[in-house]
Structure formats: structure tokens, C-alpha cells
Amino acid sequence: MEPIYLDNNATTRLDPAVLAAMEPYLRDRYGNPSSVHALGRAARAAVRTAREEVAGAIGAAPEDIVFTSGGTEADNLAIFGIARAAGPARRRVVTSSIEHPAVLEAAERLEREGHDVIRLPVDGQGRVRPDDLANALRGDTALVSIMFANNEVGTIQPIRELARIAHARDVPFHTDAVQALGKTPIDVDTLDVDALTLSAHKIHGPVGVGALFLRRGTPFEPTIVGGGQEGGRRPGSENVASIVGMGTAASLARSRLASDPHRVRDLAERFLRKLRATVDGIELNGAPRDRLSNCLNLSFEGVDAEALVVSLDLAGVCVSAGSACSSGTLEISHVLGAMGLSPERARTAIRISLSRDTKWVELDQTISHLERSVTRIRTIGGDAGIPSSPAKISYRFR
Ligand code: PLP
């Protein structure tokens, strides 16, 4: 039986058209884009086209796109690259408390190096308050990094307003838009951001490739050195096949932006309506409106999220949970915690994330599985007698 895959914020299925675009570069077109001969030129042209496609999806100039090994590297590159370039007189970095670990841990490292890191709180829906940002900025601020859309709850931040506040104090603004691409329009000029992170595998592209939009003129110090690839901003021989895949995925996402998000939102809303009519004690975590329409973070009263994830997994349904039980201590999601959810409610939260591949029949079946699992766990309590499985190792959101 095919699994019902509802974990698309973690990763998405490779689009067959993306695979087809990549294949020649994994087989016969293996030239190094830096080589002068025909195979090299063909690879160089393919990377150029992909750069234009990625740039086109966010309204950027192709020269401002830096390919990386994924969203994590692009976040690291933006944070280390911009903060370190600001010099010793600018040691403050402002971010939010609900960022992806790729940003939070980069900020933590800067803190250990002597930077002053401010993590802004969020409201109960997961939104940064613009006034909090304005109050955190000082003359010595090197960078602001606030994510576009959260991976756990889907809340979208008022990026344009936040960037305006940062720029009023001459501070560069970076946003992690990994979860936003393909789900909501992104235009780097309208948003007026200086740096923006993307990842291919969240938009039906390959894993292990991403991009940083880095606006010309933004102070930046490369974190790795070597050959001059990517304008010296991220040297290393290009991962041509994956870059081609990312370009194709970005171009498909762009052309589908007028239809896919609406269809997915209708599916998600229909699912939530029917689920609420079938199962009681459900709360939606995150913003009811300004949110990614594909993502439902739901708390099931009295139901341990890990037990529910395992129970659904046994029924062939793939979702994620927001709490991780490692070595006997229960870790609550830092996002739900920052939103002020009680540990009890956070412990019962699962994330269901749809994509353009999701079909109503799968969601309908998931409701039946959820009804059975929730009833059993509520009746029996604890882990409902579910045998331990290898899948129990990790329930951290990605
Ligand atoms: N930022 C956000 C918001 C994400 O959801 C993810 C992926 O989980 C990343 C960054 C990291 O991207 P990648 O998996 O490409 O390193």
C-alpha cells in the first residue's frame, strides 16, 4: 500500500519533470562549468539558465543568486557572511525565537564569538511584533534575520514591514523563505530584503541544493574559500544536476503559483472542517489567517503526539510531531513554547502538511485513521500499546 504522505514541510516528492531535467547532467553532460571546452560550456549554460529560473521565482537579478548545498547552508552563509562583514563596531544580531535551527544555531555560534544576539519573542499566533524589532535595533546592529514562514505552524511574518524598520536604521535584513517559496508570492524588491534563503526539496526539487539571494552591495564575507565559483561568495565546483533540478522546480513553482496554493488551501480547509466534525478536542496552533495554507499544526486534547504519530505511521500515514522524547526527557517544540502554549497542549501537537500531490481521498482516509487512533489513545492512555518502532527515534520537526 502506498503511504499517505502528509509531511511536505519536511520534504516533498521529486517532480518527474525535475528528474527528467536533471538526468542528462547525471549521465552524459558531466562537464565542469569552469572548463572552456564544449562539455564545460554546456554545463555553464545550464547553471546560467537555472540561476535565471530561481531568480525569476523571487523577482531577483540572476547575479544575486548564490547556489548552496541547501537551506541550512544558505542560512549559515547569510548570517555568518553578513554579521562578520559588519566588523567589530557592529556586534548585535537580531533574530526571532521561532527560527529554524539553521538560523538559531548560527546565531548561537556568533554569540559564542562575542556577538550580542537578541531573540525576539512572538505572540500567541507566532508573529513577531514590529515594535519589538524597532526597540531591539541599535547603532551597532549588524543584521536582522526573521523567517518568512514558520515550518512548524505556517505563520507568515510581516516581512515588508520588518525590513522597512531594519532599513530605517541602516541594518541589512535576511529572511529564511524556505517554506514560503511556491506557496505564497515572493518578490525581493517589494519586500525590500537584502538576503533570502531558498531550498529546492521543499518545492518538489532535489535534496541537497538551495540558494541564497544576496543583494548586490550587501556587506558580505564568504565563509568558505577556494575557486571563484558563485562570484567567490560560495566557491566549489557546482552541483550542476541539482542546480538544474532546482531551476526547473523553481520555474514550475512559479508557473503553478496562481493555482496550487488555492487548491491546497481548499483541501486543507475541507479536511479541517470534516476532522472537527468527526473528532472533538482539536485546536489549531498558529495564525488562523496569515499562514501557509498547506500546513495544519493541530493539538488533540489528551493525546500524546508521539503516540499519535506512531499510530498513524502504522496505518500508513506520514505526519510529524512537535515534541521529541529523547533519553527520557520530553522536549517541547521551541516554536510552540515561544508562542506560549502550555506544555500540555504542545505535547499533543502534530503537523499535517499537504502539497500539490495531496488528494482528497487520502485526507478522507486520514480522518478515519485519526478518529480510530485518537479514540484508542484517549481510551487507553499512554502509548496505547503501540509497539516501539525504529520510527520512534526522531520526531523533531524539519
Ligand atoms: N529553514 C526552514 C524554515 C526549513 O524548514 C528548513 C528545512 O527543514 C531549512 C531551513 C533547512 O533547509 P535544508 O533542509 O535544505 O537544509
Residue of 12, 14, 72 best suited for mutating to test ligand 1, as the one with most atoms within 8 Å of CB: 72
For the cut 70, the answer to whether the pLDDT of residue 12 exceeds it is yes
Distance 181 CA to ligand 1 centre (A): 12
**What nine digits make up the cell of 41?**
560550456
β-sheet bridge partners, residue 285: 297
**What nine digits make up the cell of 79?**
548570517
Report the distance separating Cα 34 and Cα 145, nearest Å: 33
What's the pLDDT score for residue 391? 39
332 pLDDT tier (thresholds 50, 70, 90): confident
For the cut 90, the answer to whether the pLDDT of residue 325 exceeds it is no
Q: Which of 325, 369, 378, 383 is catalytic?
A: 325
Distance 97 CA to ligand 1 centre (A): 16
**158 or 327, greater pLDDT:** 158
Distance 183 CA to ligand 1 centre (A): 15
The number of the ligand 1 atom at minimal distance from the alpha carbon of 201 is: 15
- DSSP 3-state of 149: strand
380 pLDDT tier (thresholds 50, 70, 90): confident
Taking a C-beta distance cutoff of 8 angstroms, is the pair 49, 185 a contact? no
Report the distance separating Cα 286 and Cα 264, nearest Å: 18
What's the pLDDT score for residue 98? 98
- Whether 325 sits among the annotated catalytic residues: the reply is yes
pLDDT in tens, 177-208: 999 999 999 999 999 999 999 999 999 999 99
The number of the ligand 1 atom at minimal distance from the alpha carbon of 398 is: 8
Residues with CB under 6 A from ligand 1: 70-72, 75, 100, 102, 147, 151, 176, 178-179, 199, 201, 210, 398
Task: Please provide residue 377's backbone torsions phi and psi, each rounded to the nearest 5 degrees.
Answer: -65, -40
Q: Which residue has the cell 493541530?
A: 298
Which candidate, 187, 151, 159, places its Cα nearest to that of 12? 151
pTM over 0.75, yes/no? yes
Residue of 7, 178, 184 best suited for mutating to test ligand 1, as the one with most atoms within 8 Å of CB: 178
For the cut 80, the answer to whether the pLDDT of residue 327 exceeds it is no
Report the distance separating Cα 240 and Cα 229, nearest Å: 12
Report the distance separating Cα 145 and Cα 263, nearest Å: 31
Neighbours of 153 (CB within 10 A): 29
Antiparallel, parallel or unpaired: β 282-285 and 210-214: unpaired
For the cut 80, the answer to whether the pLDDT of residue 385 exceeds it is no
pLDDT in tens, 15-60: 999 999 999 999 999 999 999 999 999 999 999 999 999 999 999 9
Report the distance separating Cα 264 and Cα 271, nearest Å: 10
Half-sphere exposure at residue 219, Cβ-oriented, CA atoms within 13 angstroms: 13
What's the pLDDT score for residue 67? 98
What's the pLDDT score for residue 226? 96
Residue of 196, 199, 204, 333 best suited for mutating to test ligand 1, as the one with most atoms within 8 Å of CB: 199
304 pLDDT tier (thresholds 50, 70, 90): very high
Residue nearest to atom 14 of ligand 1 (CA): 71
Q: For all residues of the chain together, what is the average pLDDT?
A: 94
Q: What value does the mean pLDDT take over residues 151-171?
A: 98
Question: What is the C-alpha radius of gyration for the chain, rounded to an integer number of angstroms?
Answer: 22
Distance 74 CA to ligand 1 centre (A): 9
Q: Which residues contact 1 (CB under 8 A, 6 or more apart)?
A: 316
The number of the ligand 1 atom at minimal distance from the alpha carbon of 72 is: 16
What's the pLDDT score for residue 329? 56
For the cut 60, the answer to whether the pLDDT of residue 328 exceeds it is no
Neighbours of 352 (CB within 10 A): 26
pLDDT in tens, 76-124: 999 999 999 999 999 999 999 999 999 999 999 999 999 999 999 999 9
Q: What value does the mean pLDDT take over residues 9-14?
A: 98
**369 or 387, greater pLDDT:** 369
Q: Which residue has the cell 537578541?
A: 118
Distance 100 CA to ligand 1 centre (A): 7
For the cut 70, the answer to whether the pLDDT of residue 326 exceeds it is no
Distance 148 CA to ligand 1 centre (A): 12
Report the distance separating Cα 119 and Cα 107, nearest Å: 9
Residue nearest to atom 12 of ligand 1 (CA): 71
- DSSP 3-state of 287: coil
- DSSP 3-state of 383: coil
What's the pLDDT score for residue 106? 98
- Helix runs in 113-259, H state only: 130-136, 159-168, 188-191, 240-256
Taking a C-beta distance cutoff of 8 angstroms, is the pair 147, 199 a contact? no
Q: What value does the mean pLDDT take over residues 294-309?
A: 96
Helix (H) or strand (E) holding 285: strand 282-285
pLDDT in tens, 244-256: 999 999 999 999 9
What's the pLDDT score for residue 324? 55
